[in-house]
Structure 1
Amino acid sequence: MPNTALPGENPRPERAPSELTAEQRDAVAGVFASIDQVARELGERFSAAGHELALVGGPVRDALLGREVHDFDLTTDAVPQRILELVDGWADAVWTVGIDFGTVGLRKNGLQLEITTYRSESYSPKSRKPEVDYGTSLTADLERRDFTVNAMAVRLPERAFVDPFGGLDDLRDRRLRTPGRPEDSFGDDPLRIMRAVRFAAQLGFEPVPEVRTAAREMADRLAIVSAERIRDELTKLMLSPVPRTGIELMVELGAAPYVLPEIPRLRLEIDEHHRHKDVYEHSLTVLDQAIDLERERGMQPDLVLRLAALLHDVGKPKTRAFEPGGRVTFHHHEVVGASMSKNRLSALRFPKDVVADVSKLVALHLRFHGYGKGEWTDSAVRRYARDAGHLLQRLHVLTRADCTTRNRRKAAALSRSYDDIERRIERLSEEEELNSIRPDLDGNEIQRILGIKPGPLVGKAYRFLLELRLENGPMGAEAAEAELRSWAAAQGIELPEA
């Protein structure tokens, strides 16, 4: 079938298995509308110098799917040094962070683009970094890409659509195939197994049987991939519309032990004598419900919340115990789970604030269940809000999402309790600014009243006053000073004369 050309000059004779629809032609043309001048000028510069240039991969795929295009990736037969020469004096800025992998970045008219030399890359059995060799053919470059839906290109400046491996058909059918043998693709870069998982969650694509088989047989190759690359794919998966799909596929393909080994371990055996919820299914349902609540509350996709929802019960396998009468308990699983979450996310090189926030949410996720029917005092509500701190809204969502009971009466009662505590926190917040609760006296005032210098005793007195503040609400400086003096006398601290 003849090649499909976008508006522009005459196409080159590239094979295309399927014609673009009018809607897809408009979508791709729309992408070029935003980069028309830059694409034309850059394409003409390369062409005049005897080099090829093409928009490739993700931008083409996303345009055909009608998704917003943010990144503009191009490929060429020019080597990096030649790329630098061709854009010298034309680009507004140039950076060479990825030049060792054949990539030159540039900015022109507010647009950021990356140009990569045709290449083929592979991993030796024990290497964590790919070996890069430059190529001379666009078709060969597309063949070494991960999946056919990412192996489509548009040549510049003539805007000829290039699809030598049937990516357009696969895009229509929402399936993931590799341009060549999947064993070769995953052997070249094992991270592509995680990319398949991510595309399933992000785009709703279904890996074909041969891709599933190869991924399952080669999942252990993920062990050579750096933690940072795995983290980045996991992050994209978790922020996708349906992360559950990706998590389930990751477990099915045997990739989870090399990414989040705690997740498949949640599938605890359930026998007739020790019945309890399937923790794996429960955790995925909590993740789904947290995402639903995100949308209901107008929140953006929240990595911290979603990771906490997925990991909130990872401490259960280690803490499971069988009690008389067939009862199953998981005492302190939130404490164990918080430690496990911290260790796993740290190993994946997540930022320290993400690690701290996720592990804290896991540690706090059971706190609400002591609320009962609203018996908590205002001081208990203050402590709950203060302990959650900036994570309070996320804790509200996680706590609500953690209700997966099929008992409607029980679920309704829990929902009413959630509503009640949120109302009480809101009321107390308006009255007392719960997010920034402090004692009625600061450190300087404590030192003045007690006649002491900075040191551990100041911290001890501060904590005493904070407990009073949480218990009683605002006291005022005079009452707080009286309480501090009484405390100091009980501690045997000699006070200065007033």
Structure 2
Amino acid sequence: MSNTPSAARSDAATGNGRERSATSELTAAQRRAVAELIRVSPVADELGRRFADAGHELHLVGGSVRDALLGRLGEDLDFTTSALPEETQRLLQGWAEAIWTTGIEFGTIGAARRGLRLEITTFRAEAYDRVTRNPIVQYGTNLQDDLQRRDFTVNAMAVSLPDHRFSDPYGGLADLAAKRLRTPGTPHDSFADDPLRMLRAARFAAQLRFTVAPEVVTAMTAMAKDLSRITAERIRDEFTKLMTGADPVAGLRLLVDTGLADQFLPELSGLRLEIDEHAQHKDVYEHTLTVIRNAMSLEEDGPDLVLRMAALMHDIGKPATKLVGPDGRVSFHHHEVVGARLTRQRMKALRYPKDVINDVTELVALHLRFYGYGRGEWTDSAVRRYVTDAGPLLARLHKLTRSDCTTRNRRKAAALAADYDALEERIARLQAEEDLAKVRPDLDGNAIMELLGIPPGPLVGQAWRHLKELRLERGPLEHDDAIAELLRWAAERGITPPA
């Protein structure tokens, strides 16, 4: 680098620019915090005065302070206090509209007041056994020790009530302005106490678009296997927050790069080794991340967990189905079938609700059905089946299929988009003629039993499915034609209807 006066002036100007930018960010954060605190102060200050009058400290703390600084404080407020839980409960009596004590064994009392949900926890200075994540609860004696035990510096700030004194012993405000994630103490000690904090770091990277400090990433990589101490349900909850964040791809990359994904979602890391057959991306892993971004761009009413999870899982069957042909081309035949099975297994292991598992699995199974439509081989019957099989997932299937087109070949991308436009127009035309979402046979079960003279049982179901197949194949039948088809089916099976 040149040591000329002009270079020195340039460096100084750049440095001053960074300082001005940082100062501007801090000032903006402080303004946002003031506005948010004014919004909740009628309740927060009332509560603070009650505790102060009883000789106790009360501080708004943790995520509540962070969110106030970000201008996104919600209706849930977290407090810490010098009062023991029983004293907290006494102070809330007659003031709170409701009180709950489900967290009292951890020093937490909950309350509701004027539409706000409050959680008040006694100063903590607990240690962890570092075998499970269960804390050995020990009450602390001061605010600084309480803040030191928290996961990240941006969550280790407090506002005292009712005087609004700001405490930031670990530089959380500067980290918040820099969008940087650090731990109050050493990352190793923080993650050894609670390994879930490693997954939370990836979640904050996704939710808040924060950069994780290098020393934190190093500790996450070294300690990834400690995540095995955490229950599947808690991992699922953090992962769901990551996937519904503003930038899930950033969080997913961090999980893969640190080895955390290998502990609960190894299929994701496995995609890095599988070269995509169309060679439009470096590998299937990069393709998958692009599909997630594409799917997000098509969301209409906020984050759609089912759609994003389907985008994440849609190609996980490729490693098990990879085949290199004599010409060197790579194929993944029936990877959607294998992928659907793997998706169900993985999501069950993570304890996702059954309806979420079923929806994501079905989308993975169906995501390739569209390909081939552009060759002109689809009959109206095939379109009806496509709609019927997708059922209530049709809108999501449209989005997933469109998102899966990541080719860099503009002509090919335009052709695929045009084909799908044509398919959606054709679906709309058929739906105008008949309600495809509610396709039923032209004769119901009662009519089948009466016409064939048979009692309820498996035979009725077989006849019903036969008529439904005809309905999908040929569209609505006239009543007499439907009866004739049923009688023909019965005659082939030796069933003699009543005279």
Contact 1:238 1:303 in 2 (8 A): yes
How far did residue 124 of structure 1 move?
2.6
Q: Which amino acid counterpart does residue 235 of structure 2 have in structure 1?
A: I
Q: Partners in 2 of 1:174 and 1:32 — Cα distance?
A: 21
Percent sequence identity is 60
Contact 2:96 2:113 in 1 (8 A): yes
Q: Partners in 2 of 1:428 and 1:86 — Cα distance?
A: 65
Q: Where do 1:108-123 residues align within 5 Å? A: 108-123=113-128
Contact 1:122 1:189 in 2 (8 A): no
Q: Where do 1:194-209 residues align within 5 Å? A: 194-209=199-214
How far did residue 436 of structure 1 move?
1.3
Q: Partners in 1 of 2:25 and 2:123 — Cα distance?
A: 25
Q: Partners in 2 of 1:270 and 1:313 — Cα distance?
A: 12
Number of residue pairs the alignment of both structures matches:
477
1:184 aligns with 2:186: no
| Helix, strand or coil at the partner of 1:435 | helix
Q: Where do 1:121-200 residues align within 5 Å? A: 121-200=126-205
Contact 1:374 1:421 in 2 (8 A): no
Change in CA separation of 1:237 and 1:441 when aligned onto 2, cut-off 3 Å? same
1:100 aligns with 2:111: no
Contact 2:151 2:184 in 1 (8 A): yes
Query: In structure 2, which of residues 387, 390, 402 is the aligned counterpart of residue 388 of structure 1?
Result: 390
Change in CA separation of 1:268 and 1:378 when aligned onto 2, cut-off 3 Å? same
What does residue 212 of structure 1 align with?
217
Q: Of the two structures, which has the highest relative contact order with CA contacts closer than 8 Å and spacing of 6 or more?
A: 1
Q: Partners in 2 of 1:370 and 1:121 — Cα distance?
A: 61
Contact 1:80 1:102 in 2 (8 A): yes
Change in CA separation of 1:257 and 1:22 when aligned onto 2, cut-off 3 Å? closer
Contact 1:54 1:154 in 2 (8 A): yes
Contact 1:275 1:326 in 2 (8 A): no
How far did residue 79 of structure 1 move?
2.1
Q: Partners in 2 of 1:111 and 1:332 — Cα distance?
A: 51
Listed one character per residue, the Cα deviations across residues 128-171 of structure 1 (whole Å, up to 9, x for unaligned) are 53333221211111111111011111111111111111101111
How far did residue 46 of structure 1 move?
1.0
How far did residue 373 of structure 1 move?
3.4
Change in CA separation of 1:182 and 1:311 when aligned onto 2, cut-off 3 Å? same
Q: Where do 1:348-497 residues align within 5 Å? A: 348-497=350-499
Query: In structure 2, which of residues 221, 226, 231 is the aligned counterpart of residue 226 of structure 1?
Result: 231
How far did residue 75 of structure 1 move?
1.1
Q: Which amino acid counterpart does residue 253 of structure 2 have in structure 1?
A: E
Listed one character per residue, the Cα deviations across residues 33-58 of structure 1 (whole Å, up to 9, x for unaligned) are 33222112211111111111111111
Q: Partners in 2 of 1:336 and 1:422 — Cα distance?
A: 27
Contact 2:153 2:181 in 1 (8 A): yes
| Helix, strand or coil at the partner of 1:104 | strand
Contact 1:374 1:420 in 2 (8 A): no
What does residue 14 of structure 2 align with?
none
Q: Partners in 1 of 2:135 and 2:481 — Cα distance?
A: 68
Q: Partners in 2 of 1:285 and 1:336 — Cα distance?
A: 21
How far did residue 276 of structure 1 move?
8.5
Q: Which amino acid counterpart does residue 415 of structure 2 have in structure 1?
A: A
Query: In structure 2, which of residues 339, 343, 353 is the aligned counterpart of residue 337 of structure 1?
Result: 339
Stretches of structure 1 that go unaligned for 5 or more consecutive residues are 1-17
1:56 aligns with 2:61: yes
How far did residue 271 of structure 1 move?
12
What does residue 33 of structure 1 align with?
38
Contact 2:281 2:287 in 1 (8 A): no
Contact 2:203 2:242 in 1 (8 A): yes
Change in CA separation of 1:130 and 1:386 when aligned onto 2, cut-off 3 Å? farther
Listed one character per residue, the Cα deviations across residues 209-252 of structure 1 (whole Å, up to 9, x for unaligned) are 11111111111111101111111111111111111111001111
Listed one character per residue, the Cα deviations across residues 159-203 of structure 1 (whole Å, up to 9, x for unaligned) are 111111110111111111111111111111111111111111111
| Helix, strand or coil at the partner of 1:262 | helix
How far did residue 84 of structure 1 move?
1.2
Stretches of structure 2 that go unaligned for 5 or more consecutive residues are 1-22
Q: Partners in 1 of 2:446 and 2:319 — Cα distance?
A: 48
Moved more, 474-483 or 211-220: 474-483
Q: Partners in 1 of 2:493 and 2:38 — Cα distance?
A: 76
How far did residue 68 of structure 1 move?
4.4
What is the TM-score of this pair, normalised by structure 1? 0.92
CA RMSD of aligned residues (A): 2.1
Contact 1:276 1:328 in 2 (8 A): no
What does residue 15 of structure 1 align with?
none
Q: Which amino acid counterpart does residue 210 of structure 2 have in structure 1?
A: F
